[in-house]
Amino acid sequence: MRKKILITGATRGIGWALAKKAAVTDLDVFLQGRNPQLLAERKKFLEKDNIEIHTICFDIRDRSAAQKELEKISDIDYIVNNAGIVADNWWGEMKTKQWDDVLATNLTGAFNITKVLTPKLNKNGQIIFLTSQSGLLGNAGQSNYSAAKAGLVGLTYTLAEELQRFSIRVNAVSPGAVTEMTAPVLKKLADKYGSLPSEWHLGSADDVADFIIDEILPTKRTGTVFAVNGNKKGYWSKPQYNSL
């Protein structure tokens, strides 16, 4: 029996690259998005090769919609919380709506999906959160985005501890800037400083999709924040206490 994977934010960027990869990897694929027309186009594109694709259309910020629409999934093996937005601004100029929208989508949206589907996870299933270097290191002009992604790191560590006894793994993936949404941020940093540290290396959405399907899905690790930046792969160590 084929294993089932749900990908949120599956119509663009990393989510779309992951959808294309999953569709040809003998997985039963569920795509989530909030644009019905684009979701239908993605489904049609993938099904041209006689591959059945399931689509679920709702806004992940809407908790009641998540509860209702995810009832269509009886059981699941992999949950990939990919959906995310940016609304960058300097702290002094950050609007309440910018803060609320990013936290509601990037952090609370992931909560809404994971809370509903955790009881439906099969043994040896896995929850994956797409986080960011911004959530690990911070990034000027992205206080809302950094806070949301840092929240996903904390959620990864905590759920890994709680769900391990049920044979459920929980990991995160922290890619470099790979899409039209995130790449401009790193380009500005590169222009300003002349170069970027290796952990910020520019890659592609396909790099991330390949890494998740080929290496993260089969991993036995849990509670790990993996990094993929182009052809550079690794993982982040947990923060450690140091005496003053």
All domains in the chain, ordered by first residue: 4-236 (3.40.50.720)
pLDDT at 178 (0 to 100): 66
Catalytic residues: 145
pTM score: 0.91
Q: Per residue of the chain (244 residues), what is the pLDDT tens digit?
A: 899 999 999 999 999 999 999 999 999 999 999 999 999 999 999 999 889 999 999 999 999 999 999 999 999 999 999 999 999 999 999 999 999 999 999 999 999 999 999 999 999 999 999 999 999 999 999 999 999 999 999 999 999 999 999 999 999 999 976 655 555 655 665 566 565 555 555 678 999 999 999 999 999 999 999 999 877 899 999 988 999 9
Residue 63, C-beta contacts closer than 8 angstroms, at least 6 positions apart: 112
Residue 22, C-beta contacts closer than 8 angstroms, at least 6 positions apart: 5, 7, 29, 209, 213
Per the CB < 8 A criterion, the answer to whether 185 and 143 are in contact is no
